[in-house]
């Protein structure tokens, strides 16, 4: 059974970090309701959900993906690029300890989990404002013994690599070609987002279905035309904090 680690929305969520979009007012109650529905969707798809309590003093902490990279062999605790987010990793380390040996990215390197795309034994890391080449070097050292190769990917105009590309299945990626160099993913089958939906490249495949935002109906239609089962979720309030569907859980297979 898949385990999904989630964390409730902080009451200070409207103080979140914003990098690539304009700040707009966030209704914390609506965000909490949307997150609850997201958690219920994970459960409906067969995940055992470990729900962590909210962190009052950590506004962005609902986005647990940024705190760790979970692999079959180990879990790598990240070192988030925003200083306000660095304390988020400690409670995640405690949550992951029963399931994985814990490794850590050490200072001064920084990396957000949202910049890390794992495709088999290949790991791609977005070179964003939050993640750097020093982290790539540490990941190659720490994870190379398990057969992983880590490579940096240049980004344009987006927060994280997973804003631009995410895994649909083992052979297929959902992609916004405008935000990074597609040559990095030669050999994979690519599904392009609809040009009118630039933020549509983030999806979360779970047990034969894809958790996907209701905000992108044209890209949804494309995915469905390829035979994928979509589980729609309304996450527009979470998106005001530059969050997406992969951001709100850590999946432990």
Lowest mean pLDDT among 6-10, 19-23, 136-140, 218-222: 19-23
**pTM across the whole model:** 0.97
Q: Report the domain count for the chain.
A: 1
pLDDT at 210: 98
Write down the pLDDT at residue 129. Answer: 95
- pLDDT level of residue 250 (50, 70, 90 thresholds): very high
Catalytic member of 35, 47, 160, 248 = 160
Q: What is the pLDDT of residue 249?
A: 98
Distance CA 151, CA 126 (A): 9
Express each pLDDT in 94-149 by its tens digit. 999 999 999 999 999 999 999 999 999 999 999 999 999 999 999 999 999 999 99
48: confidence class by pLDDT, cuts 50, 70, 90: very high
- 21 cis-preceded (ω within 30 degrees of 0): no
CA distances from 188 to 81, 179, 251 (A): 29, 17, 22
> Is 16 a residue of the active site?
no
Residues in a beta bridge with 169: 172
What residues make up the domain containing 57? 3-252
What is the average pLDDT across 33-52? 98
Q: What is the mean pLDDT of residues 187-198?
A: 98
CATH code, domain with 49? 3.75.10.10
Residue found under tokens 């070179």: 127
pLDDT at 28 (0 to 100): 98
Verify whether residue 35 is a known catalytic residue: no
- The closest of 133, 76, 131 to 102, measured between CA atoms, is 76
Percent of the chain with pLDDT over 90: 99
Tokens found for residue 57:
């003093």
| Pairing state between β 172-175 and 165-169 | antiparallel
Predicted confidence (pLDDT) per residue in 61-86, tens digit: 999 999 999 999 999 999 999 999 99
pLDDT digits (tens, 9 = 90+) for 204-239: 999 999 999 999 999 999 999 999 999 999 999 999
Burial class (CB in 10 A: 0-12, 13-18, 19+), 156: exposed
């Amino acid at each position: 059974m898949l385990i999904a680690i989630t964390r409730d929305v902080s009451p200070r969520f409207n103080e979140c970090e914003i990098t690539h979009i304009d700040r707009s007012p966030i209704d914390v109650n609506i965000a909490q309701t949307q997150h609850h529905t997201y958690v219920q969707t994970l459960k409906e798809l067969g995940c055992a959900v470990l729900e962590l309590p909210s962190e009052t003093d950590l506004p962005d902490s609902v986005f647990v993906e940024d705190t760790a990279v979970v692999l079959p062999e180990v879990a790598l605790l990240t070192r988030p690029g925003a200083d306000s987010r660095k304390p988020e990793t400690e409670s995640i380390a405690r949550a992951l300890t029963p399931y994985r040996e814990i490794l850590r990215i050490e200072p001064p390197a920084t990396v957000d989990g949202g910049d890390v795309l794992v495709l088999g034994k290949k790991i791609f890391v977005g070179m964003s404002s939050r993640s750097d080449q020093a982290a790539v070097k540490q990941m190659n050292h720490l994870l190379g013994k398990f057969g992983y190769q880590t490579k940096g990917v240049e980004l344009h105009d987006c927060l994280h690599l997973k804003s631009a590309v995410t895994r649909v299945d083992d052979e297929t990626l959902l992609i916004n070609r405008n935000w990074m160099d597609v040559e990095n993913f030669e050999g994979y089958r690519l599904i392009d987002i609809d040009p009118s939906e630039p933020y549509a490249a983030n999806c979360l495949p779970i047990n034969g279905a894809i958790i996907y935002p209701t905000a992108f109906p044209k890209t949804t239609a494309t995915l469905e035309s390829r035979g994928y089962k979509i589980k729609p979720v309304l996450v527009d309030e979470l998106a005001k904090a530059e969050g997406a569907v992969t951001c709100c859980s850590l999946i432990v297979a």
